Structure 1
């Protein structure tokens, strides 16, 4: 069966997955529309390149800061209720952002972006943990491929629409975004209770929050003893660091290329193509894995495609839109493949009681790397005046980290395989 037929069959045969998927579709479309508008607002009125990077940081950093809390709660509370509560809270904060944007209050918008992202930080580990409840284990790779394809299509449509709507101001995009969160929450109401297996909120919410450090350490210890699982948890980080710098360059390159004299339209086109890559890449990589490619080889292939695309963007965007489009497509293909492979492996290899925390650890490392790469790249651009410096710095940090992790993984796997059977009981987390 072809990959596309498997995607259609999954949507047809798994109604609960279809509901979960539809809620993401609707919220993502509004998210990316508003993200373009806010990015352009910050670049024009909020402090130049560093102000632009702060939008990404405000949008992403809470995912890193709150990932441990989100992971623990995902393993202790009803995942359905967490998702609905998060969507409703995001709707209210987005309405406040629209009001602030209509008044030209950029600092207030940035604060609200951070607040909304703090709420959104609870969604990735919860959604990842919920996914395994609505599909079979042998459907996880297909389900994650569909999730990535959906993200890509909504990213492309949202970015393209956001580029056009930005000419009318950010308020309209934010108002649309607020409505999407309400619809997403409504769609999830029919899902069954999704409390983690063998976990309960013992002693109340305060007890759960107080156990964050201990619970996260237990999950990390569990992954450290399983090289394939640890490889999946760490796989996104080097690409995220390189991608943070490349994201800064992409925004700056759009203003320099300026198709039809508009940086907003150009950014929408470039992000649309990058989003297309994040959808196409996973379908290709999933096909390679099913044909016998090892997961380690697939991770390496996706990383090389990503790094190659970023290098092409840094070296070739001045050649014009065509070169930038090819670079954005390759970058997106590598990132999308890496994302799907790592998520599917974490869901496949982790017991349900650890799944929320390991998904949160993955999210923490990914977002921290992306924010660090973007901020460091933006500061370097401010100091040197060269737009490509952001992406080049991201590569200079990300590529050696990827090579080092690959080397360490091989040594760790060999050491574990040669070790005598463990006498200690498996961690109960």
Structure 2
């Protein structure tokens, strides 16, 4: 006859079931042991270290993105100092952001369908290897002290980035489990700022030790290693790829129909527009360091470090606030845009380097949270067959409006001065965030936004 105790030991879905049968019953009954088993079960899903350890393909994508972004910032920081020293103009320095943003925008009608119709893995490898060519051109520009050549090569890197950057965002839901997607996207999205954080410091060290040309060698090597890591990814980056035929008009029409019919997607795209419309003032950071605080090239790197550190913190803080709710995600993202504006309003007021660093840190916590919450929301709301085009659209809107904003900053700075230009764009960020939040609230009242986070059928495991 079976005892009640033995029945209890065989009950399904119990923490006892994972304890080997040879373990004494007295130990198997200990509550602490049950807790340890539950902890061991849950830990892999909540830890970035565990996710990187257990998911080799995500680890390769993460490391490849980290290397290429760090190399880019090593070059960009060195290029900022190079252009300012050659021209002595704040306008030329801000123009770098425009050149870094706009050239790839003109190719967006082609890049979007490419990302959905072609193998994303091969496309990313081609972009990484192709980016080495303009890096070699920058070596020549530094050697000949040619600013136009440097800007032309930067435009080439912008085109390569326009094709390569949306691919990890579009492919990520295919590489990680749905429950791990928010954590994975937060980590991947924060790499842009982490690359700045590490790249700014590394660029200063490499430039001081071996010269500015050495920074370009680092950048070129980062692209080569990135291509190698992407080539080793085993899972497909494109699950919904059906044909290699590109139909630019039909594919673009399908994209806009999806955007118009999905309120959450529309809301996050409008938020992206607002963030990047005000982003041109970030290009004034080197000028604040050199002419505002008078701290030299080292101060440029340190101010970029403060910016990068804030933008790394932002995504992780934002993720903790949303807790799987689309409504909280929307409200937190709007508040983050306002925080960006408030940080730069403070920056325009201070005269000391320490408070300036704090203001940049606070402002870019807002930038990091706003950008990553928007991207992750779009990933959750978009099916794989169109996700590439949506991510390219996000990248295009970001590049276009950031470029336009940067172009506007140059004449504004010349006419009204650096502090007033900063106040104007920072105030615009706060006002835009307030108006956007009103629009989101009205959409919520019309019950057009689902709760909790939405996901399409090709993203299994997420509630609708």
Q: Normalised by the size of structure 1, how large is the TM-score?
A: 0.88
* Worse-superposed segment, 186-195 or 221-230: 186-195
Q: How far apart are residue 413 of structure 1 and its match?
A: 4.9
**Where does residue 244 of structure 2 map in the other structure?**
201
Q: For residues 105 and 393 of structure 1, what CA distance do their matches in structure 2 show?
A: 33
Which of 1 and 2 has higher RCO (CA within 8 Å, sep 6+)?
A: 1
**Where does residue 205 of structure 1 map in the other structure?**
none
Cα–Cα, structure 1 residues 2 and 160, in superposed 2: closer, same or farther, change >3 Å?
Answer: farther
**Where does residue 75 of structure 2 map in the other structure?**
34
Contact between 1:76 and 1:196, CA under 8 Å: does it hold in 2?
A: no
**Where does residue 280 of structure 2 map in the other structure?**
244
Which SS does the other structure have where 1:294 is aligned? Answer: helix
How many correspondences in the alignment? 405
**Where does residue 318 of structure 2 map in the other structure?**
285
Which SS does the other structure have where 1:200 is aligned? Answer: coil
Q: For residues 442 and 228 of structure 2, what CA distance do their matches in structure 1 show?
A: 48
Cα–Cα, structure 1 residues 230 and 291, in superposed 2: closer, same or farther, change >3 Å?
Answer: closer
Contact between 2:339 and 2:430, CA under 8 Å: does it hold in 1?
A: no
Q: For residues 259 and 426 of structure 2, what CA distance do their matches in structure 1 show?
A: 27
Q: For residues 428 and 338 of structure 2, what CA distance do their matches in structure 1 show?
A: 14
Q: How far apart are residue 63 of structure 1 and its match?
A: 3.8
**Where does residue 341 of structure 2 map in the other structure?**
307
Q: How far apart are residue 346 of structure 1 and its match?
A: 1.0
**Where does residue 427 of structure 1 map in the other structure?**
none
Q: How far apart are residue 66 of structure 1 and its match?
A: 2.6
> For 1:28-62, what per-residue CA distance to the aligned partner results, in whole angstroms no more than 9, with x for missing partners?
12111110111111112146122112211111113
**Where does residue 172 of structure 1 map in the other structure?**
214
* Worse-superposed segment, 386-395 or 36-45: 386-395
**Where does residue 255 of structure 1 map in the other structure?**
290
Q: For residues 121 and 198 of structure 1, what CA distance do their matches in structure 2 show?
A: 20
**Where does residue 424 of structure 2 map in the other structure?**
393
Cα–Cα, structure 1 residues 67 and 217, in superposed 2: closer, same or farther, change >3 Å?
Answer: same
Q: How far apart are residue 74 of structure 1 and its match?
A: 0.6
Q: For residues 42 and 108 of structure 1, what CA distance do their matches in structure 2 show?
A: 11
**Where does residue 386 of structure 2 map in the other structure?**
354
Q: How far apart are residue 152 of structure 1 and its match?
A: 2.6
Q: For residues 2 and 269 of structure 1, what CA distance do their matches in structure 2 show?
A: 36
Cα–Cα, structure 1 residues 198 and 173, in superposed 2: closer, same or farther, change >3 Å?
Answer: closer
The structure having more radius of gyration, on CA atoms, is 2
**Where does residue 376 of structure 2 map in the other structure?**
344
Contact between 1:248 and 1:378, CA under 8 Å: does it hold in 2?
A: no
The two structures, once aligned, show a CA RMSD in angstroms of 2.3
**Where does residue 218 of structure 1 map in the other structure?**
254
Q: For residues 443 and 72 of structure 2, what CA distance do their matches in structure 1 show?
A: 40
**Where does residue 159 of structure 2 map in the other structure?**
118
**Where does residue 17 of structure 1 map in the other structure?**
58
Gaps of 5+ in 2: 1-41, 450-464
Write out aligned runs for 1:118-197 (5 A): 118-167=159-208, 169-192=211-234, 193-197=236-240
Counterpart check, 1:404 vs 2:440:
no
Contact between 1:77 and 1:196, CA under 8 Å: does it hold in 2?
A: no
